[in-house]
Homo-oligomer: A and B are copies of this chain.
């Protein structure tokens, strides 16, 4: 993971343009889907002429790949690891907190990722088959050790990981629905805190790590 997308000086005109385009593209791909997002709409959102966008990225497919790469880098930076040094309670607490933070701070990344998976993960199959599968197996092993040592209840570790993923990502992917149901325009300051507390509390109890 963490493959640098490009490697020019950070302040350069190219670097800045690419960043603006990618942010615009991410937004458009989420709202309109791959086919629905047009190079023109991406350019408009980025505030650049269409030709410039194609000058930097050659073609639409390349833009999409760059957006996906950005998404995976974000994922990796946000929750690349589980801290297993201090036992299951701390590990789960930190893991949930990191995932919730990701969902509230980078909902776009979560949404792009979710859409890719729902649509069959054509571009992410390789990522899932290698990196992600490995990741899940490693972390599941950690949990299994704690279970075998009687440090936590016997809950299927893989299903536990899926549960933590789904409950945390939900606040990013289903943002629109959650806000509509709660009759609110945006998440507020302490929504993230409350969600983190609720999920940590609930999941620790589910793992038999809390009264």
Question: Which residue of chain B is the closest to A211 with respect to CB atoms?
Answer: B208
Q: Are A183 and B133 in contact (CB under 8 A)?
A: yes
Q: Quick one: copies of this chain in the complex?
A: 2
When distances are taken between beta carbons in the complex, the residues of chain B under 8 Å from A128 are: 176-177, 180-181
When distances are taken between beta carbons in the complex, the residues of chain B under 8 Å from A171 are: 162
Q: Given contacts A114-B114, A167-B163, A195-B159, is CB(A180)–CB(B121) below 8 Å?
A: yes
> What is the interface of chain A mostly: helix, strand, loop, or mixed?
helix
Residue in B34, B158, B198 whose CB lies within 8 Å of A156: B198
Is A129 in the interface zone, CB < 8 Å from B? yes
Chain B nearest CB from A163 CB (Å) reads 5
Q: Measured between alpha carbons, how far is A35 from B35 in the docked complex, in Å?
A: 6
When distances are taken between beta carbons in the complex, the residues of chain B under 8 Å from A136 are: 181
When distances are taken between beta carbons in the complex, the residues of chain B under 8 Å from A34 are: 33, 36
Residue in B111, B119, B202 whose CB lies within 8 Å of A31: B119
Given contacts A202-B206, A205-B205, 6 further A-B contacts (CB under 8 A): A133-B180, A153-B205, A155-B201, A159-B195, A160-B202, A166-B174
